[in-house]
Amino acid sequence: MVGFVGPCLSSWSGTGRPCTVSRRGVGNAPRYGGRYPLRLVSANSGVPNDATEGDTLEQFRRDTPLSEEEFQGCLRRLDHVNAFQRQKASLTLAANLRSDTIPELLKLLEQTETRVRRQAVQTLGVIGSPAISAVCSLLATSENPTTRASCCKSLTAIVTSFPELRETFPSDAVDTLRHALVQADPVIRISACISLGELGSADSETGSRGNPKVLPILLQALRDTEDIALASSLAGALGTIGMHGDKDATLKGLREVMETKSSIEGGEYFREIAESCIERIESGLMRPSKELV
């Protein structure tokens, strides 16, 4: 028997290597692009099972809607101690979307328990475009910094799962992420940087283009901030775009901004980060991916 486990979703490259699935859709939604944010694993060992990476979600599709008992059981299992049970529940929910699935998952983003919050993020990523508007609404209105950061991560999961959505990602969703860049909480800002970096970068596997609105947003945010931690995160997001998008414009913008930051506190540290990003863009070298939590 096989189960599923989430990969590391890179804040740099967006190229965690998930399994290939079919392009059939959830309900009326576009179907799982050519990539997928959950990897098949052995239910017993938790070790990735490469022999089954071509499987689709068809095994989780039901001829009839989930009953209330089945639905609530899946929601509870999103916090199961066993990874196989959590991932099976995620895929069952995503493959049999109900009108109350997304609202219930959003409630889980407000939980303090990391495990269930992470699983809700992954499940929203599997669902894809039907979840974008609701996730952005919660990102814009929640007063909980952890919840808002989880919303940013959910959007990252969506554009990683569905790279074909990047170029035409809803403008209001892009604006919501832009506003998140100036929030007081550093975790929200960094999470928004990661999400925008993925959104603005092209996907080499599918040939999907990045969103053209993102590069100017990140460059302007970098010009405006004097927060070195934020500036470093922005440089990383720009590095993602430079690696998988508009290389020349990204390099030009990074070099220009790098000179203006030398006089602020921590400017030398930022310069080192920016130079490292520029070097990686020019050489095509990717740094290790980071787990989406």
Quick check: 276 pLDDT over 80?
A: yes
Round the CA-based radius of gyration of the chain to a whole number and report it: 19
The Cα 214–Cα 227 span in angstroms is: 20
**Of the candidates 145, 153, 82, 146, the residue with the CA atom closest to the CA atom of residue 123:** 153
The number of helices, as runs of H, and strands, as runs of E, in the chain is: 12, 2
Output the pLDDT for position 228.
Answer: 84
**Residue located via tokens 């609530």:** 72
pLDDT, residue 170, reads 97
Rounded CA gap, 148 and 117, in Å? 12
Whether 149 contacts 187, CB under 8 Å:
yes
Q: Which range, 41-45, 149-153, 278-282, has the best average confidence (pLDDT)?
A: 149-153
- As a whole-number percent, the residues of the chain with pLDDT over 90 amount to 55
Region for 14 from its dihedrals, namely left if φ exceeds 0, alpha if ψ lies in -120 to 50, beta otherwise: left
Q: Sorting pLDDT into bands at 50, 70 and 90, what band is 205? A: confident
3-state secondary structure (DSSP) of residue 208: strand
pLDDT per residue over 33-68, tens digit each? 334 445 434 444 443 443 333 345 678 889 999 999
User: Between the CA of residue 235 and those of 1, 162, 286, what are the distances in Å?
Assistant: 43, 24, 14
Token representation of residue 114:
């990391």
pLDDT in tens, 213-238: 999 999 999 999 888 888 888 998 89
What's the start-to-end Cα distance of the chain, in Å? 26
**Mean pLDDT score of the chain:** 80
* Rounded alpha-carbon distances, angstroms, from residue 120 to 30, 77, 200, 214, 223: 20, 11, 24, 26, 34
The more confidently predicted of residues 18 and 122 is 122
CA 231 to chain centre: 20
Count of beta carbons in the 10 Å neighbourhood of residue 226: 12
| Mean pLDDT, range 167-188, rounded to an integer | 95
Partner residues linked to 43 by β-bridges: none
What pLDDT shows up at residue 129? 94
pLDDT value of residue 285 = 60
pTM of the model: 0.79
Q: What's the longest Cα–Cα distance across the chain?
A: 64
